[in-house]
Amino acid sequence: MLVIVAPGQGAQTPGFLTPWLEDPTFASRLDWLSTVAGLDLAHYGTEADAETIRDTRIAQPLLVATGLVAVLEVFPHPADAFELVGAVAGHSVGEIAAAVGARVITAEQAMVLVRERGNAMAEAAAVTPTGMTAVLGGDREEVLAAIDKHGLTAANDNGPGQIVAAGTLEQLQAFADEPPTKARLMPLSVAGAFHTHHMEPAVGHLAGLARSVSVHDPRTRVISNRDGKVVHDGRDVLARLVGQIASPVRWDLCMETMEDLGVTGILEMPPAGTLTGIAKRALKGVETFALKTPDQLEAAREFCAKHGEASGVGIGTSPTWRMVVSPFKGTFHKSEEAASLEVLAAGAAIGEVASLRDRATVSAQHGGTIVEWLVEDGDPVAPGQPLIRLHPEGGGH
């Protein structure tokens, strides 16, 4: 089972694009995305210093564009990827790149959204002096209690031993003066308290733009930062991308879902290293590949072939039917009402998936005629497993 991941802000380093731009195809594709974003991304990825590319308005488009162009180097024929890739996920802004990889939105839509996301988050960060501090080690419950005590938000939960606290500079200073026992604090060089309520103004701006964005349902599983669930409705993916600006990144839950899926290999898009590093600590026995330079491309393709061979996802885009899939691992409980119907209205509940941690209603967002139930009441289900096949009312996608 192959999972492809895209890193978030902070992964960029000065000059990281230099070797990639030696390839004329890569350079021309980046130039196109630069034009859409209105930024000279080649300059920022080769000549700009660390302080310049730390700017949210530059870092976010730079990261997304790099991931989008690099994945085309790994998969020159993108349609082939859907036979190999079991799931995609992105950390924070990396989710936008993941959404393109799953064919929810286009690369051009992504670059407009990420440009506006970066600008809006920078403006929101300028309202109140805020920041973020990584908390390394310590007892998890103690760390979370200390974060809460000081009025901070656990903005990133990256798994064992790495939680990022965010809030005002005064709150962070009070936290630093009274740190959790056995924990090391590391202030992060970011412009503000991302993934907290301080970013709410940016959510409003993006939500307005998102109303004009056309979407498609994902071609492969998309694992959401919000709660680690597999999302298979394009509109829901987009809504989560917008809301996620002001809500915590639960990368720990994303990795739990990868484990539930049976992941054997994780490939991280450039600038790689952060997420594969976390995976090595949290997902023992899972192979990782940090794609950093183009001389690794052949090895990256071999890695994909090795781990992707048996991961056929079964989420197609045939125009004659639609799938509704499970959001996470658990037990499926069929709705008695849905079981008695032949046609489901848009948004109708087909049942619930329950686990020890969570319980979620599963709905047929688009509705349609029931072609066949693929699971029965009480069946165990995996993340992204098809539950019911529907024929769209009126036909078409």
Residues taking part in catalysis: 92, 195
Q: What number of other Cβ atoms are within 10 A of residue 24's Cβ?
A: 8
Give Cα separations from 175 to 160, 285, 341 (angstroms).
20, 35, 56
Which backbone phi and psi does 244 adopt, to 5 degrees?
A: -65, -20
* DSSP state string for 316-367: ---TT-EEEE-SSSEEEEE-HHHHT-SEEPTTEEEEEEE-SS-EEEEEESS-
Angle between helices 24-37 and 107-127 (to 10 degrees): 50
Q: Which residues, 6+ apart, have CB-to-CB distance to 30 below 8 Å? A: 17, 20, 21, 41, 42, 45, 65, 66, 69
Angle between helices 200-210 and 107-127 (to 10 degrees): 150
Closest alpha carbon to 97 in 111, 76, 80: 111
* Cβ–Cβ < 8 Å for 363, 350: yes
- Angle subtended at Cα 82 by Cα 363 and Cα 239, rounded to the nearest 5 degrees: 40
Residue 337 and residue 49: Cα distance in Å, rounded?
60
Residue 308 and residue 124: Cα distance in Å, rounded?
41
Residue 190 and residue 53: Cα distance in Å, rounded?
11
Residue with tokens 């000279």: 40
